[in-house]
Structure 1
Amino acid sequence: MAGPADPALTIDDVKLPTDHSNPHVRRLFSFWAPTQSTMRGWAMASVVVNAGITVTGAGVRVTASGLGCPTWPQCTPDSFIPVAHPEVDPLNMAVEFGNRLLTFLVLAVGVACVLSAWRMVPRRRSLVRLALLQPAGILFQALWGGLVVSTMLNPLTVGVHYLASSALIAACWMLYARAGEGDAPVRRVAHRDVRRLGHVLLAAVFALLVAGVVVSGTGPHSGDEMASRFDLDIETVARLHADIAYVVAGLTFALLFALHVTKSARPARRAALGLFVVVLLQGVIGYTQWFLAVPAVLVLLHVVGSTLVWIGALRAVTSLRTRDPEPAPAGRSPAEAAAAV
């Protein structure tokens, strides 16, 4: 004779990964039950992985591995993974294929950001829209990477590839910044003219990135001996790049000085100081690599610096404003409630 049937499981009986005793497991699956803190954590992770793949992409270039996988989306004409190829060095193939594999990590973090934003309670449309930029941007980057290969590392397509990564980093940083704020209208934490100075600084940093792309497309590290170069004078474009760097350094110092004079919020002053230090270090790296005939290691370090300068500029600008939580809708007065009945 059968005993009593087991009671049906309820949601309280189901142990989700977010309830796991191991804090690392809980953190890994936090996108399923996100909080403001874990949402910001995933957004920062997206900044890190997108900055990382930008740097490893430069590593592909300075190791002459740009055509280590000579086809796309396959690595070789007959295989998606590296196989022996008579015309390609195995090390170059491994470097290029490894960089391609990192795309899946970037995509996974981007999907986690989307799920976190979607499952936030209450759901915030501003975060969902910013999070959706990540998979869209990664898809664009993957397709553009195919164009880079098919054009044999044309410096224009390579440059756009880098600038698109910078735009994606900006979207990730804005998700991080907005996840720590509310959705009320923007409130300044610095004087209006100081904010304008910050915007000018951000535009100057982007111009510096563009000039750096031109220098890279003219210089010796093309990614492969078959790649073309911009038909420009390297000394002229390098001097232009240096001139813009001086402008960025001056604007950064001006922002730092203005924030201290106006006694602005401490986070804004710290962000400006951090940016100023990174800009100075980047200048030292830039001049050193020039006088040492542009060695590959310093070129890679310079790309790391340019990525940090861009993130630092984004941090400095977003620290000049904030948003408060939206006020809760006011309840109806007793007279209005009686009238509704």
Structure 2
Amino acid sequence: MMDNVSLITIFFLSGLNETKNHRFTLFCLTLLCYCFILLVNLSLIVTIILDKHLHEPMYILLCTFCVNGLYGTTGFYPKFLWDLLSPVHAISYSGCLVQALVMYSYACSDLSILAVMAYDRYVAICRPLEYHSVMSKQRLIKLVCFSWITPFFIIATNIFLTSRVKLCSPYITRLFCVNWVIVKLACFPAQTTINGIVAYITIIIYVFQGVFIVWSYMYLIKMCVNSLDNRAKFMQTCVPHLTSLLIFLVTILFDVMNMRFGSKDLPQTFQNFVAIEFLVIPPLMNPLIYGFKLTKIRNRILGVITFKIK
């Protein structure tokens, strides 16, 4: 049985090796970025929770979206900030697997939440008379659980399979742990066959979710073209969703393309930027996009700010 268990207890992250002369500056910028991510996401979450007028499916899903953003960034920023001040960039074997679980489940949950949001907008615009019966409290709870629990268990399965692979190197050329990179450290490629199969099944599942989102918005656009009222609803509530989807897909696609096809000759700084895009841009931009675009949230936040100034 020992042949199936990794003897490595610590991983060394080499992604920061080229930033020795700029550690403090990078630390300050990263801390500022993380604090701003916490501020904008918590502001939206607290606003939605405290305002009973915002206890509607669309806003509850947005709250879920922001909570997931905090979950994903918490799996990266504290450890990264610690590494910036530490001479040795190491992480325990179990800690590495947990971080990989958080990173992947966060990304998959984001896509699942966007799929549920697309379904919510489809019902709201195409079947308005049935909206409250279709998007009932019970169904909303089920959809939120689906968007969180399903990705977690799918990624946990991938991580469990990785934990059974015997590894021959403790060096990870990234800023954080990534399941696909850990699997590449396997002593025997034959050991990773099942990992590859499950990984491709996971990709197919989430590609289908992406296709569902695209199909939903294509249908919505078709329905809204000839209706001024529906067009107004689409511009108000669907454009932020589409913007979030585009940001998510672009950042994830860049990272996947870099992992699969990127050259090792590319500067480490560029590879680092591509790797952390999905942990910087979506969690930072999504609350701002929704906060400025959705009238109820914008008015509520402006009202609180005006009250405090007075």
Greater Rg, structure 1 or structure 2?
1
TM-score, with structure 2 as normaliser: 0.39
> RCO higher in 1 or 2 (8 Å CA, sep ≥ 6)?
2
Q: TM-score, normalised by structure 1?
A: 0.37
